[in-house]
Amino acid sequence: MKRHFFHPAAVTALIVSFIFMISCNNRSSEVNSREEALSSGWRMQPADKLKGVDEISVSTNDFNPEAWYEAVIPGTVLGSLATRKVVDDPYFGINMQKVDTSQFKQPWWFRKSFDLSAGDIGKKISLRFNGINYRADLYVNGKLVAGKDTFAGTFRMFTFDISSFVTEGKNTLALKIWQHANGEYSIGFVDWNPLPIDRNMGIFREVFLEVNDGIKIRSPFVYSKVNKETLKDADLFIQSEIINSSGEAVKGTLKVDYELGVISKEIEVKPGETLTCSFSPEEFPGLSVKDVNLWWPNGMGKPSLYTIKVEFLKGNKVSDIEERKYGIREVNSYLDAKKNRAFEINGKFVLIKGGGWTDDLLLQDTKESVEAQLRYVRQMNMNSIRLEGFWGKDEDLYKLCDEYGILVMVGWSCHWEWEEYLLKPCDEKYGGPVSDEDVELISASWFDQMMWLRNHPSIYVWMTGSDKLPVPALEKKYTELGKKYDPSRSYITSGRRRRHRG
């Protein structure tokens, strides 16, 4: 065999050229944002153990929390106490009854430190809370950022600008959290589980530190209109929210790589604006895709997934980037001849075979425990689960359902519709949320949950009620939100079949 030898100078030149190309490529795609999950290093303590302590000092770097309990975040107070073996296993015997319930009727403090670099300072720095239960005071570095009157609501998601509260190096945040009061709309197991004695108080969903130049991409969403004849072609529709938290208008390019193609448009986001940016096949013919793999439920085909990456570019810098999985599938719903609710996926009738799903009582599920349960669902030839509530301390449940082809019926439970569970008088027809204040809270909560989950192809219907109906003012809100932010799914106002006489 003839051997070829390369001159050392040529090899050196080749290496230098390769390094130069990499360097140029990195410069052209410099990302000007970062996101950090604050999931470790948390401590917690009941308020009665801080008597005489200045509350402001709890969130200062000099405060010593070593005597505090280690907290599992996301999670609940009782869940952390059980995990750290402060209390005996609540699931064994009558151990749950032995836990002192009075300790949960007072506020609990949660505390964590985080670091910021010199490059972070000068940018927009925010804390994103995907779920607390139920209300909290938030402090950063010895200053109150938000109070419990506004930082409240189990299914609300909150973002707080802390740019003026932080410094380079070590910073500390602290939350003083109260459980929900009787009549407030919180996590509920109804008759599926007993009420946890701590009422699931705590930081039960993820917390993120977000650093950017004022531009943030949220909730990228792909939905489809499938060619029912070929079952290989589809029209894709893409939405994304662009938030400008800076004090000036920002112009740039919104670029979308949906794996089957790349599209972009020039946009301007006004100061303080949340802009809904949409892409359709009428404007971008490349969104009419051919020879694609559709997403199918378990037993009907493969649940194929693609990747979407959304970037906002200013010059040669990426202000922010979001990447998600999506499925190409179309859901249709109708009433059959017997007035039963029926569903089609990609034009094919799907016989719903499923059961009810609820989270662990202390919200201690892990990705491994959820996946084990979903394997049972799939191996029993089921294709659906019904969530009485928006379960999950993160998106793992929904991501795994996307991967396994398990349809998810998600929405509010009947916990808020009956006095014995909500612990306040309920309307015979509409349940608990009937006041104007309730309508605003529940509709805002619905918006947050819908935007969080709408991109998951496994979710095939929204349940805005369970045993009763939403009050008309609330149903109108649901309808308006659905038309604007998720036209791909139907919603069901009640899971209870109603017979009309006359």
> DSSP readout, 228-269?
TTTSS-EEEEEEEEEEE-SSS-EEEEEEEE-SS-EEEEEEEE
Q: Which fold has domain 34-211?
A: Jelly Rolls (2.60.120)
pLDDT in tens, 75-124: 999 999 999 999 999 999 999 999 999 999 999 999 999 999 999 999 99
Identify the pLDDT of residue 2. 38
pLDDT in tens, 69-83: 999 999 999 999 999
pLDDT in tens, 14-49: 444 444 344 444 444 689 999 999 999 999 999 999
Side-chain-side CA neighbours of residue 406 (13 Å):
29
The yes-or-no verdict on residue 13 having pLDDT over 50 is no
Identify the pLDDT of residue 20. 39
Say which range, 63-67, 166-170, 193-197, 257-261, has the weakest mean pLDDT: 193-197
For the segment 222-250, the average pLDDT, to the nearest whole number, is 97
pLDDT in tens, 483-493: 999 999 999 99
**352-492 has CATH 3.20.20.80 classification:** yes
For the segment 170-191, the average pLDDT, to the nearest whole number, is 96
pLDDT in tens, 375-409: 999 999 999 999 988 999 999 999 999 999 999 99
The yes-or-no verdict on residue 12 having pLDDT over 80 is no
Element spanning 371, H or E: helix 367-379
The yes-or-no verdict on residue 433 having pLDDT over 50 is yes
Question: 497 pLDDT band (50/70/90 cuts)?
Answer: low
* Number of neighbours of residue 197 by Cβ within 10 angstroms: 17
- What's the whole-model pTM score? 0.92
Question: Per-domain residue ranges for the chain?
Answer: 34-211, 215-324, 352-492
The yes-or-no verdict on residue 335 having pLDDT over 80 is yes
Q: Which fold has domain 215-324?
A: Immunoglobulin-like (2.60.40)
Phi, psi of 9 (to 5 degrees): -65, -40
For the segment 224-248, the average pLDDT, to the nearest whole number, is 97
The residue that leads in pLDDT, 314 or 498, is 314
Nearest CA-CA partner of 481 in 459, 458, 449: 449
pLDDT in tens, 122-146: 999 999 999 999 999 999 999 999 9
* Distance, CA of 137 to CA of 202 (rounded, Å): 12
Identify the pLDDT of residue 9. 45
pLDDT in tens, 459-480: 999 999 999 999 999 999 999 9
Amino acid at the residue 41: G
